[in-house]
Amino acid sequence: MPSDPPSAAELQQERQRALGAALCFFSLLAGYYVLRPVREEMGIEGGVRQLQWLYTGTFVSILVVVPLLSWLVARLRRRAAVPTIYALFVLNLLVFWALIDRVGPEARVVLARVIYVWVSVFNMFAISLFWALMADVFSVAGSKRRFGVVAAGGSAGAIGGPLLTAGLAESLGPGPLLLVAAVLLSMATLGIARLGRWAGSEGGDAPGALGGRWWEGATLLLRSPQLRAIAGYIVLFTSVSTFLYFEQANIVEAAVHDEGERTALFAQMDLATNLLALGLQALATAGLIRRFGVALLLLSVPVLSVVGFVALAVAPVLVVLVAVQVLRRAINFALARPAREILFTAVSPAERYKSKLVIDTVVYRGGDMLSAWAFAGLTTLGLGLSAIAAVGIPVAVAWGGVARSLGRRATAARSDAGSAGDGGA
């Protein structure tokens, strides 16, 4: 039987929650996008030749942090666990801010590396925790009505954060920006604590733990051809992304010598990426998915990556690097990532939640780490940036092959589902 429609009072309360959640998401993503350019600068300060160690540190930290967060969530109601974890993030930022401009040069290098790893770990959990809580705050019907508003708040934050950083970076430098990010995340934490009072009131499972047992997700991943193919896609995606990221670090280090100017440049790249991605999401994503399915969208970034590597092999200079990175990241956010998430609708709920956690953390960061060491090995062999970009071309081509295979599977699955539906009509 259909449920009774919500009353006017319930809709009003739902609107208030959605507005509060949108403001929280704005603060969260604005804070992250203040931190992101700082992280890139910390990677350069920590030593471009040491980036592979930072990737290794990030991977090891992920393996340590996930069980710790799972332990915390298992012992606290989610409405308390999420703001508690966020408060710990804010405390970490305040410690970094207190130290960064007060330590000596050698300690500054160490701290830069710690901050780089910390931000890389933070961004893997903060948004997942936010949406986990939102699933408890809103009913299924309410989420369909209001999550668009919440997501819009995040999109505004993803634009506001880089805009703020681009305006402040050259005059303030990275240190004070950590305090700006801490203030924004504090605002998000207070809002989430307030929203948490409604967790479970719409039928959500507030006391439950997030994710699942690690070995269950890994076992399901190894058993499923579809999940193995998705994992292969992710490994090749991270390989291409890491090669381009290392090219970026080397080119920017050589072209821009002031730390404030570098931080501002990274913020401007984030701003351009997010504006372009938002425009594509608003104007193209849904229509392209309806017309072409996921196959074309999955192929979009591998094809662009091949073009980007060719361009960098010919001219490894700043203007080419910026154009390649902005276009590639925007198309990934707007087209390829939604298509990738659609692939998980074709697997079981257990595979969707448990194995996805493994793919999004261990496989993703593991691919990052292996690719970082591959880049370091190529530079040790004496290859320059042009030659390494040329090495990236066949990797991107292989990635395109996996994307094409996944797209064909998704198209076939959709056709089978449509045939089954027609047969049962």
Contact 316, 247 (CB under 8 A): yes
**pLDDT band for position 239 (50/70/90)?**
very high
Tokens of 94: 């305040």
Residue 311 CA to residue 99 CA, distance in Å, equals 41
The pLDDT value given to residue 144: 59
Lowest mean pLDDT among 37-41, 238-242, 277-281, 404-408: 277-281
Q: Is 109 exposed, middle or buried (0-12, 13-18, 19+ CB in 10 A)?
A: middle
Read off the tokens for 293: 């399915």
Domain extents for the chain?
Answer: 14-209, 211-418
Q: Which CATH number fits domain 14-209: 1.20.1250.20, 3.60.20.10, 3.40.50.261, 2.60.120.10?
A: 1.20.1250.20
Which tens digits make up the pLDDT trace of 171-197?
A: 888 889 999 999 999 999 999 888 877
Q: What is the pLDDT of residues 308-348, one digit of tens each?
A: 999 999 999 999 999 999 999 999 988 888 788 778 767 77
Q: What is the mean pLDDT of residues 209-233?
A: 76
Question: Distances from the Cα of 16 to the Cαs of 27, 73, 198, in angstroms?
Answer: 17, 26, 12
> Is the pLDDT higher at 80 or at 83?
83
Q: How confident is the model at residue 66 (pLDDT cuts 50, 70, 90)?
A: confident
Percent helix / strand / coil, the chain, rounded to 5: 90, 0, 10
Mean pLDDT for the chain? 84
Q: Who wins on pLDDT, 208 or 268?
A: 268
Q: How many other C-beta atoms lie within 10 A of the C-beta of residue 263?
A: 29
Residue 297 pLDDT greater than 80, yes or no = yes
Instruction: From 156, 205, 163, select the one nearest 180 (Cα to Cα).
Output: 163
* Fold agreement between 14-209 and 211-418: yes
- Express as a percent the part of the chain with pLDDT over 70: 83
Alpha-carbon span 414 to 286, nearest angstrom: 17
Fold of 211-418: Growth Hormone; Chain: A; (1.20.1250)
Rounded to 5°, angle at Cα 274 from 242 and 20: 120
Predicted confidence band at 203 (pLDDT cuts at 50, 70, 90)?
A: very low
Taking residues 370-374, report their average pLDDT.
94
